[in-house]
A and B are shown apart, each in its own frame.
Chain A
């Protein structure tokens, strides 16, 4: 009996102790599991979601509001001709394996992006870096072949994080970076674990341990949050369930915006979509608000071009493609498709695509276009649509920030080839003054909107469901990231 008493006493004490100290571990769920753990060698957004600013850091970095601030580079100087960037690196930065991060590592990382066999998904962003030279261990000079107003922004991307030659070989399964968290374990198909890195150069995060879990099924996601198996779900997949979480005092719901332009991707080389009148007809056949209400339960901002509405340079071009089925029919008749035509509509798994696809198919049917839906898994979608370009229509959200330049690449999967636009992008890259850039960006947005390259639907919203006491999570997703640096539990 005494033994039992002592035992209960001890456990009560332990319980009290546990309650007194704030919780310092977190389990975050995201929908997709990263295919590998190399942000510099994979296009999957999930890689950045897990690793960006947690495990890996770049010379500059994005903050929660989308601003670009110094990262591993403490400061920089830009030469008057805009061609040379001299970065001063922070002191005392070490990789998780104990090696020092210095100018050699920066040179290695940037040279690796531009290497011939580079697998970097955003190679084009860094193509005009001609030379990276080590001035001294704390100073790096980056030389460009022409001024690039976006360089500091581009360097903040997850694709430009600093890696070490010592650990590069196993980066895909054992990432070693300079961030506040070091990678511990990856149980494929289930979770990734990381813990605070003692030797971190900056402010220590409040959390000591973090686990990322991958739950793709919306029903399972709902159950996991309800059962409090996860502390937060970033990018909750079922918008219809959010009101329930909002009404529940155990949870908080953050509805933010992303850089994801959700578009009806159109194969510009495949007849009949090579005719601008047909593309215009498709654009007028679509009722954006119905898609936002039906597929996203009202979350999302309508867009009229490929640009984020919360960006100051956004031009509202929705007027170019108002819902007008009669005009759509007239345009189809002009193009010689008075009786409509049949095409494919290939949909990846997210609900914006699957549900949005059903709605768009119904709207297209009203103007006589038959869109045959086929539902694809991501791997199939990448193979058939993105690489194979074997599609008529598709729906996908382009989540990269400031990615209007993809329209200058005629080999990109929707195959838009316009010399005027390509020249405009070159001009934009060479322009550094903000006003000039705004004007060029406005022109670029107008060109693709008036060319009806794709059907512009809405800016994807991101919803985060978290336990009530959790603070410091990003509201918006200026880049794909679940930055845990500033996350903590309320006392």
Chain B
């Protein structure tokens, strides 16, 4: 109570003080060491809640009272710089920032990091800093899974299939981008689970309402991975080794050839694991008792290998281009399949392979054609091939033994080597035009053309087909920043055009291809708005709305050849997405920072595309569910002390209700308005971290992190039907992870040791698909710049 009174009193003092004193202008420019203007640099007045950000030209302006002030300029990837001034008149104060080897959490502590700025924008977004964790993180999904409202459901260990949901929307309603370009351009095998971590600087996760500039037809949201844009040469290389014979290696570097000015950016990421973790309580036949007995057995056919190699070459700061790069990348994935969609189906020979070549070009130019118009263009073509091998006539058990079977492992039919060739062409043009400092426009066009050429090397009866899916997404947005940035509004319109050419006809009763043969073109419109208003620095409100449309993915429409049937009759999803919430950052005392955020959301979805597991055959198919309504709330608190101690916690509640009034026979459905089964509906995370600076030697730090993940149990099937004691459940999860990171020589050398699932708890994200138990991972990272 005393504290509350003090807070209110302090706030009143600040407000009245501000009103009563004469204010002077403080303005200036922030540049890098080469004199280039830096945009979005945070300028804060130490010990107060005042601050601002630089504009496109690196300029800022503040109004401060007479007296002494300390201003700090901070920006991701640069050392923060503080300057003291004794203000007696309007003053000009410039900053020249030096690049930082590794952006520590100090960036977040002493100023608004870019992540915080993104979080405090008009969109509902989670912003995650990858760069500061690059030395310890071994899987981006691990971090994403701990964000508010996000749930990553994995089938198993490294490289296993996963589904990411945002505010309860299925993983395939979520679109992935790298710097605004679809991640698919790197090949279908490249995912959040295997992308080289050193390549990524930070992640923006948009919830429900997605900026038009991303060109996304995403219903549930979008994940935008922002790559590192360091200016100078560097080498970032790491190697990790962990339990279950896991090895990971990353390399990311930049080299500028001084004579020609050509910039070379090689990237390499390799992941390998045997995933031979212990499966607990699986059924093993005991001949003596003639019973299946629960036993612990190691996985024996779950090797995973992935590689991504990329070289990007280009130039910057030319008269004809601010940046122009071309790149070639190759990705490869080989995955042994241990089980079907439930672990009672044991495989011992089946495997999936894929590889992809991609060629891309990107171009950026300010003052393109006319002053202030910025052009961003991207073009890529990807040759994406995948193969599922199911040729063994064997039936395996959890002992690793097999009998010679009369049929293959996955489908129970004849031998199969199913090839999918999915050539992908992506073109993106983004035009950005700031009318003035208050108003700007953005026009974005995205073309996505996917082929689906499939054939079987062995099964002569398999009907080859070559379906083509073309999507055009056009987005126009208008951005307002009013009242000195206190009010931010964004309005946007999107147009989606879907063109489908279906040629496959096999399994027509399952895939619906008999009603959808030939070509189809459909046009859909969407749009929305978002707003943010800052009343006082510790308290802002924001709201956003989008009428979103999501065109089906190739995988959903055309299947994956193994565990996912095609369903070419799928319709686009559409939804009314609403977010509303409040947030703020409060610095009650020097070195103490408290941030909070609370949001409510609604997703009113029609033709929701949902994966239905057909357990009886171990296969899946995506289908349109007439409607699902999801409502939820989520909240997050973060506390920081002096850049040393960080505490955070979040909780998410999502309530998805079926809206199907009628069954397929036209009679009322029992599931109407019932909670949709087989999805997490309440979960939370907590994290604590402490950094010891200059431990053992100068320019070093030791950081300890502990995280806890909790998911409430949930039913596999509709909860109201069948005796509760007989119903299948996905059990609750209580997972504790701990990480120790030591960095020395100013971040040049880094070593981390992680223990995931410290308490060795049984964990399932999906029904009877056990995830790994306790695991250790050690990583060494060398960062030279």
* A and B are partners in one complex rather than unrelated chains: no
